[in-house]
């Protein structure tokens, strides 16, 4: 539906792995279009972007930087002394600004011309082979754009762009060539799809966050006009110049041939959403509106995740190991698409049908740094280990933002201790989305949420290597006498204490005071366990609970069945925990029930004792 309304330009904003690229690729299978990525690549080692051509990245991060007349940093709005620039100084500054505009205009038009030349040739070949336009042909064109090097052992889009860019062609010659290619592509698309009333091309600019941060000192507001005072101009990133050049170029072609038109779709992640909006807004004096899309989807219901997994695992999902895997996938990997998609890809590559639970354990451990104790089953050792390559959580940027770190700590520890999640962030808290810890769940700008189990537990592990440890957080709650429901500082510190005290077998009398003459129970050694009654097999399973250390270290292994505790605010949820329907080790029952905390100790040589 995002591609159907062709006249509306769209701006997709969400966190990494939330489906933005997937949406654009699906759209480009249904409609003809051009796919560009701004993803930065290593120009020193030659490492390529993971997806798409290097044509645009090479221009952004090498050609412009190495161009002799290109100024990476323009003069500030005022002289260092605070005075305005004099007439002679302004002339030199305006000359540098004009040169930057002209250089980028030529390179970006060469970029577009190369795509049109190759699209025209692609359509010529399709016509010579009597191929019928449709989804398959559009997929082949999209595949060529995204995996040119894999298919041809050459990035033909990059090669042609560089040849055009380094040629002696003037801007007028390039404009004329663009007009001819546009007309020919428009004609051929009409011949291939005579019944289509939409002669329309979509231009996707993916991974725009890199371009939105790049060369911010090289451009100013008031594009292509030096009329406004230099002092009033604001810094602009290269993304804004890119969208400006492409949009104006296509608008010029549409004026010449109204049978075909173009629409932009820009995607961004891991950046300031305000920065991306600013970079793509008002790119001309005539306002251009970008409809913002925040909700890009995710596995937010188990049915959707199950349907996706079933496509790849087939009948396996109906077997006992498959049913258990589906249950644990929802428990651990709900949320953004990438978690489930990457795990399934690794699962299939490693023939995970032999040891599905071990595969999931490996994935969780490599991402979150903890051992999931709810997945200990008797499975063969295949000698293969699954490790994630998807690391969206930017702890480096988080550490530089104490306010965001404090905010994340609140969400993380509420989830860990009481299974409280899906906390909606305010507009001022969107840094957590930029750093990969939150994502948009609704179509509204203020619909960002922190609530994915894997992300929250991974953050809990990492936070305990900083000064924001769980112990320090709970102790500050004691000092401030924190008692606002559902967050009670004294209850929280007791849960932490019991989890640490009974991580290994320990005499009950070391922790509890016993009255009377019967000392038999006092001398028993107990270990904290989490119990779960599997609804499919009927087995009562026992899970290990071992917390992280209290002080900035991960020396010992961390074993958790999920969250440490559950805030059972209703009688039904409390009854569910008592019937072992939840894998959390601790239960905070409703206030009217009486006790403040419930947990289970396994006594050595005895049956389990509820305390």
Do 547 and 605 have their domain in common?
A: yes
Q: pLDDT band for position 532 (50/70/90)?
A: very high
User: Where does a domain end: 359, 375, 391?
Assistant: 375
Is residue 84 over pLDDT 90? no
Burial-class residue 386 by CB neighbours within 10 Å (0-12, 13-18, 19+).
buried
Residue that terminates a domain, selected from 262, 293, 324: 293
Predicted pLDDT at 174: 96
Q: How confident is the model at residue 277, as a pLDDT?
A: 60
Q: Clarify whether residues 280 and 309 are in a common domain.
A: no
Task: With respect to residue 511, please indicate whether it lies within any of the assigned structural domains.
Answer: yes
Q: Which has the higher per-residue pLDDT, 26 or 607?
A: 26
The percent of residues above 70 in pLDDT, for the chain, comes to 87
Q: Is 285 a residue whose pLDDT tops 50?
A: no
Tell me: pLDDT of 1 over 60: no
Residue 482 belongs to some domain of the structure: no
**Is residue 47 very low, low, confident or very high in pLDDT (cuts 50, 70, 90)?**
low
Instruction: Provide the pLDDT confidence category of residue 5 given band limits of 50, 70 and 90.
Output: very low
Shared domain check, 352 and 281: no
CA distance 461 to 560: 11
**Could you read off the pLDDT of 478-502 as tens digits, one per residue?**
888 888 777 889 999 999 999 999 9
Does residue 204 sit in the same domain as residue 286?
yes
Instruction: Give the pLDDT mean for 574-584.
Output: 94
Same domain, 196 and 275: yes
Q: Is residue 152 part of a domain?
A: yes
- Chain centroid, CA 373 distance in Å: 27
pLDDT at 64: 95
Residue 359 lies in a domain: yes
Asked if residue 503 has pLDDT above 60, the reply is: yes
Does one domain contain both 317 and 281?
A: no
Query: Does 464 map to a domain?
Result: no
Contact (CB, 8 A) for 527 and 601: yes
Q: What is the pLDDT of residue 193?
A: 73
Question: Tell me, what's the pLDDT at 377?
Answer: 80
Shared domain check, 231 and 312: no
Q: Does 384 have pLDDT greater than 50?
A: yes
User: What is the predicted pLDDT for the residue at 195?
Assistant: 63
pLDDT score of 540:
92
- 149 and 283 inside one domain: yes
Phi–psi pair at 129, nearest 5 degrees: -95, 5
The three-state secondary structure class of 499 is helix
Backbone angles phi, psi at 438, to 5 degrees: -130, 170
106 and 253 fall within a common domain: yes
Please tell me which residue, 205 or 47, carries the higher pLDDT value.
205
Lowest pLDDT segment from 124-133, 160-169, 198-207, 458-467: 198-207
Query: What CA–CA distance (Å, rounded) separates 432 from 464?
Result: 18
Residues 6+ apart with CB under 8 A from 54: 41, 48, 155, 158
For the ranges 164-178, 309-323, 519-533, which has the lowest average pLDDT?
519-533
- Asked if residue 183 and residue 141 are part of one domain, the reply reads yes
Average pLDDT, the chain: 86
- pLDDT exceeds cutoff 90 at 4: no
CA–CA separation, 583 and 585 (whole Å): 6
What confidence category does residue 564 fall into, taking pLDDT thresholds of 50, 70 and 90? very high
**Per-residue pLDDT at 344:** 97
Note whether 287 and 318 are same-domain residues.
no
Distance of CA 237 to the CA centre of its chain: 22
> Best-predicted range by mean pLDDT among 160-169, 176-185, 404-413?
160-169
Q: Looking at the predicted structure, is the pLDDT value of residue 566 above 90?
A: yes
Instruction: Give the per-residue pLDDT at 568.
Output: 92
In this model, does residue 574 exceed pLDDT 70? yes
Residue 1 and residue 8: Cα distance in Å, rounded?
12
* Contact assessment for residue 545 and residue 495, using Cβ atoms and an 8 Å cutoff: no
Structure tokens at 611: 């305390």
Domain-located, residue 39: yes
What average pLDDT does range 95-100 have in this prediction? Answer: 91
- CA 458/CA 124 separation, integer angstroms: 51
Question: What separation in angstroms does the CA of 535 have from each of 43, 148, 322?
Answer: 54, 49, 14
pLDDT in tens, 108-164: 999 999 999 999 999 999 989 988 778 899 999 999 999 998 899 999 999 999 999
Domain shared by 245 and 346, yes or no: no
Range of the domain at 43: 9-75+84-293
Q: For the chain, what is the domain count?
A: 3
- Domain final position from 243, 270, 293: 293
Strand partners, 264: 203
- The residue count of the chain comes to 611
According to DSSP, the β-strands at 559-560 and 540-544 are unpaired
Q: What is the pLDDT of residue 45?
A: 47
The rounded distance, in Å, linking the Cα atoms of 161 and 157 is: 6
Whether residue 446 lies inside any domain: the answer is: no
Which position has the higher pLDDT, 222 or 553?
222
Q: Is residue 407 part of a domain?
A: no
């Amino acid at each position: 539906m995002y591609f159907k309304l062709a006249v509306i330009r769209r701006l997709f904003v969400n966190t990494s792995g939330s489906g933005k690229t997937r949406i654009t690729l699906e759209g480009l299978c249904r409609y003809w279009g051009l796919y560009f990525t701004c993803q930065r690549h290593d120009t020193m080692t030659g490492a390529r972007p993971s997806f798409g051509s290097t044509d645009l990245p090479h221009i952004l991060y090498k050609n412009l930087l190495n161009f002799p007349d290109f100024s990476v940093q323009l003069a500030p709005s005022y002289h260092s002394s605070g005075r305005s620039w004099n007439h002679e100084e302004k002339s030199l500054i305006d000359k540098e600004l004009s040169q930057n505009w002209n250089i980028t205009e030529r390179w970006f038009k060469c970029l577009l011309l190369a795509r049109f030349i190759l699209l025209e040739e692609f359509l010529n070949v399709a016509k010579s082979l009597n191929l019928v336009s449709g989804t398959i042909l559009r997929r082949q064109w999209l595949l060529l754009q995204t995996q040119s090097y894999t298919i041809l052992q050459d990035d033909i889009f990059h090669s042609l762009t560089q040849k055009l860019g380094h040629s002696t062609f003037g801007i007028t010659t390039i404009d004329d060539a663009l007009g001819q290619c546009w007309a020919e592509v428009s004609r051929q698309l009409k011949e291939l799809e005579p019944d289509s009333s939409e002669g329309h091309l979509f231009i996707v600019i993916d991974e725009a966050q890199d371009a939105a941060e790049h060369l911010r000192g090289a451009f100013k507001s008031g594009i292509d006009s030096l009329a406004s005072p230099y002092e009033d101009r604001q810094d602009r990133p290269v993304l804004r110049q890119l969208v400006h050049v492409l949009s104006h170029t296509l608008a010029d072609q549409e004026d010449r041939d109204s049978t075909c038109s173009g629409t932009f779709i820009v995607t961004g992640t891991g950046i300031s959403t305000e920065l991306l909006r600013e970079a793509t807004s008002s790119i001309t004096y005539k306002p251009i509106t970008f409809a913002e899309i925040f909700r890009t989807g995710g596995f937010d219901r188990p049915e959707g995740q199950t349907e996706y997994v079933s496509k790849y695992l087939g009948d396996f999902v109906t077997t006992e190991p498959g049913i258990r895997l589906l249950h644990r996938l929802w428990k651990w990997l709900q949320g953004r698409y990438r978690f489930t998609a990457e795990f399934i890809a690794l699962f299939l590559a490693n023939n995970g049908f032999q040891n599905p639970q071990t595969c999931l354990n490996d994935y969780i451990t490599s991402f979150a740094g903890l051992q999931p104790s709810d997945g200990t089953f008797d499975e063969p050792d295949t000698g293969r280990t699954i490790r994630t390559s998807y690391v969206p959580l930017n702890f480096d940027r988080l550490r530089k933002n104490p306010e965001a770190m404090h905010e994340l700590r609140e969400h993380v520890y509420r989830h860990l201790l009481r299974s409280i999640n899906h906390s909606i962030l305010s507009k001022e808290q969107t840094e957590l989305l930029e750093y990969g810890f939150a994502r948009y769940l609704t179509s509204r700008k203020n619909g960002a949420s922190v609530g994915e189990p894997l992300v929250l537990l991974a953050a809990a592990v990492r936070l305990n290597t900083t000064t924001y440890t769980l112990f320090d957080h709970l102790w500050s709650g004691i000092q401030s006498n924190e008692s606002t429901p559902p967050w009670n500082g004294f209850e929280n510190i007791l849960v932490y204490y019991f989890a640490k005290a009974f991580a290994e077998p320990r005499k009950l009398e070391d922790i509890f005071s016993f009255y009377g003459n019967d000392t038999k129970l006092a001398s028993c050694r107990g270990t904290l366990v989490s119990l779960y009654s599997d609804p499919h097999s009927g087995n009562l399973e026992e899970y290990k609970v071992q917390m992280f250390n209290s002080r900035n270290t991960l020396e010992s292994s961390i074993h958790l069945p999920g969250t440490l505790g559950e805030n059972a605010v209703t009688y039904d949820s409390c009854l569910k925990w008592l019937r072992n329907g939840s894998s959390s080790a601790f239960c905070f029952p409703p206030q009217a029930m009486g006790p403040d905390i419930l947990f289970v100790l396994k006594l050595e040589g005895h049956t389990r004792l509820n305390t």
